[in-house]
Amino acid sequence: MGNQFYYMNEKSKVTGPCTTLQLMALQKSGQLTDTSPVCAEGTEEWVELWTIFPASRIRASKSAAPPDPESAGATPPPAAQAASTPSPAVTVPANVRPASSAQAALIILLLFAALALPYIGPLRPVPTWEYKRVVFPSNGDGRIGPGALRYSTVPLDEKLLSQLGAEGWEMVGTYLEMETAFPNLDENERPRNFQPNVRPQSLTVLFKRPAR
């Protein structure tokens, strides 16, 4: 039987569902007797209450012993008369069904998954990376003399970049290094007549890819 039951009171009214502990409390309070009809949830079979609890079975077996000859003519108490009256057939609603074993297993599996979810992340392997630094120099002229005032830029080697991409390298950062060029210096190597020219010296590109 399941753990939920319906029971029939003295007025033949079906009540429930309730647990076995609740049935025991009703029996101790006198609201139910050993012969009160009960039906497990999900079934349509009504049985007497004493068939569920071991203590009630012992009392029922004692009450079923042969009567004392001196008291054979005694009138049975009202409770015994009520117990001898057959219980009317009552049908439990068809939509009341216990959970199947597959549903119970699924619920338990989902519960374990929810409890284990906070611990799954730390168990994942930590990725490792390897890094590469590529420097692209500028095309500027010398830092001293007339060429120091000429415009300069940093050309990129597109073939090299394509090769790095094919090898799995991913650009993650860049930084530019600057330099100061002096078009004219005096005998003390200090700027004279012209202001110094600040221009890019090189471009450094950082790459990374998963360690192999």
Give the tens place of pLDDT for each residue, 103-131.
888 999 999 888 887 777 666 777 899 99
Q: Residue 173 pLDDT more than 80?
A: yes
Q: For the chain, which domains are there?
A: 4-66+74-99 (3.30.1490.40), 129-210 (no CATH)
Q: Has residue 85 got a pLDDT over 60?
A: no
pLDDT digits (tens, 9 = 90+) for 22-61: 888 888 888 888 888 988 888 888 888 888 766 555 555 5
How many C-beta neighbours within 10 Å does residue 30 have?
8
The verdict on pTM exceeding 0.85 is no
Q: Rounded to whole angstroms, how far apart are CA atoms 92 and 86?
A: 18
Name the band, by pLDDT with cuts 50, 70 and 90, for residue 170: very high
Region 3-21: what's the mean pLDDT?
83
